[in-house]
Amino acid sequence: MSEKNSSKLIFEYSREGKKGYSLPQLDVPEVDIEKVVPERLLRKKPAQLPEVSEPEIIRHFINLSRKNYSVDTGFYPLGSCTMKYNPKINEKMSSLKGFKELHPFALEENCQGALQIMYELSDMLSKISGMDAVTLQPSAGAQGELCGTMIIRAYFKDKGEKRDEIIIPDSAHGTNPASAALAGMKVRTVKSSEKGELDIDELEKAITPATAALMITNPNTLGFFESGIQKISSMLHKNGSLLYMDGANLNAMLGFLKPGDMGFDIVHFNLHKSFSTPHGCGGPGAGPVGVKKELSDFLPVPRIVRKGNHFHFDWEQKKSIGRLHSFYGNFLVMVRAYVYLLSVGEKGLREISENAILNANYLKESLKNYYELPYDRKCMHEFVLSGSKQKKKGVKTLDIAKRLMDYGFHPPTIYFPLIVNEALMIEPTETESIETLDEFIEAMIKIAEESETEPEIVKNAPHSLSISRLDEVKAAKQLDLNYYARKQ
């Protein structure tokens, strides 16, 4: 099938009378559908479904799948949103019939294995983070943030204290202030210092009796470890406030540091970022939340408890913030993370962080002479370049990202964090080989050279894909998803 034909819609292959299926002979008495289905539910005219042959439909969807880019396809250096390799054993185990076909209404006695996995995964995450209790229920990192901020609000309400402010650094993930606001909290922003860390003097000015918590990512979104975290922790706790960690960047400290040891009271995990479960396109995800003992009564229900050799759902949590997700969370994602943790073991966790940090610093040092590096210091698992040098030639960071597609790479995160002009946020993860990193470096250097000598080729990229530069605003605001409506 040609590239031109592979871009056709399934409706454009349709021709009346074509069939890509065959049905077995009817083995039950035939009934008149009008006698068993109410008239109001019957179609007035047949559905306009495409009629295509089996080879056509197979080729169509195979070609669509080839247009997709994933961690299985190539290098995916998406900073901030860690795109780790997903080991296939995770997929194999999570697709076992006993897990895949488990009904959410199954009785406790009939799903002891599943409950044991959830209990043991919670225990593993507690030990990794240094927290006393973990809920697996939130279905994404952002919902974990909402869960955490709801716990903070409930905690102070239970104490009879009116604290409704959460302090968030200006380098925070965009979901942080959104989650805090959704939980009914007021957000106060604190600027970063010249060396890219939270400005402790500014933080001190921001702390008031109404401060419920500081919500901070560590390492932060510039890729730096917050070296003043223990002082920050003392300042917050002295004020009676809590310290919340956005655990999105946990990949940089697995096996080395525990948030609980650094003074954090609450942390959310992104199983897809740190524990290698699928990521992107809306999930299903999982954003477990860990808390210190004094906050454990506020975790969502049900909680899974162990009594002897049996596991039970515990709904008797009077101070709980309630239920956040249907049933108990996205179970098969939990199975994947459980398998991953058993596979790598304690020693493997430490190696993950070592290699993630090594890869990030290798890329940073290799590229800093070609792109502006706003903060020239050792980074953790990710780093931020600026395309401001190229912008002087008329080439924007967006153009650089588009040109990378021509070289076969998924673009890094761009224009984030907001505190870096023309930001290019790059995270290579721990599983990439030096050959892959070198290929990426070569492509980035070529793009930097093209920006000097042939800027138009970068500004008009991509050139090698089936779809070139989109009007992204129009694509987002004027959706055209109905083939027949467009034909009319």
pLDDT, tens digit, 9 for 90 and up, residues 356-402: 999 999 999 999 999 999 999 999 999 999 999 999 999 999 999 99
Mean local confidence (pLDDT), 163-180? 95
In this predicted structure, what is the pLDDT of residue 278? 86
Mean local confidence (pLDDT), 310-326? 94
Residue of 476 and 334 predicted with greater confidence: 334
Residue of 373 and 476 predicted with greater confidence: 373
Mean local confidence (pLDDT), 326-332? 91
Exposed (0-12), middle (13-18) or buried (19+): which is 103, by Cβ within 10 Å?
A: exposed
When the pLDDT of each residue in the chain is averaged and rounded to a whole number, the result is: 94
Mean local confidence (pLDDT), 3-30? 86
In this predicted structure, what is the pLDDT of residue 283? 64
In this predicted structure, what is the pLDDT of residue 280? 61
Task: Dump pLDDT digits (tens) for 84-113.
Answer: 999 999 999 999 999 999 999 999 999 999
Is pLDDT above 60 for 4? no
Handedness of CA 475, 146, 277, 96 (dihedral sign): negative
Please state, for a pLDDT cut of 70, what percent of the chain lies above it. Answer: 98
In this predicted structure, what is the pLDDT of residue 474? 87
User: Do 174 and 205 touch, CB atoms closer than 8 A?
Assistant: no
Task: Dump pLDDT digits (tens) for 217-254.
Answer: 999 999 999 999 999 999 999 999 999 999 999 999 99
Which residues on adjacent β-strands are paired with residue 426?
78, 383
Position 488 confidence tier, pLDDT thresholds 50, 70, 90: low
* Token code pair at residue 344: 């790598």
User: Do 287 and 143 touch, CB atoms closer than 8 A?
Assistant: yes
CA distance 157 to 145: 18
Task: Dump pLDDT digits (tens) for 414-467.
Answer: 999 999 999 999 999 999 999 999 999 999 999 999 999 999 999 999 999 988
CA distance 76 to 412: 7
Entry pTM: 0.90
In this predicted structure, what is the pLDDT of residue 281? 57
CA distance 219 to 362: 18
Task: Dump pLDDT digits (tens) for 59-86.
Answer: 999 998 888 888 889 999 998 888 999 9
Task: Dump pLDDT digits (tens) for 126-147.
Answer: 999 999 999 999 999 999 999 9
**Cβ neighbours around 101 below 10 Å, total:** 8
CA distance 58 to 70: 21
* Token code pair at residue 194: 């010249």
Task: Dump pLDDT digits (tens) for 182-201.
Answer: 999 999 999 999 999 999 99
Position 282 confidence tier, pLDDT thresholds 50, 70, 90: low
In this predicted structure, what is the pLDDT of residue 279? 80
Q: What share of the chain is helix, strand, coil (3-state, %, to 5)?
A: 45, 10, 45
Write down the residue that tokens 């921001």 correspond to: 206
Is pLDDT above 60 for 2? no
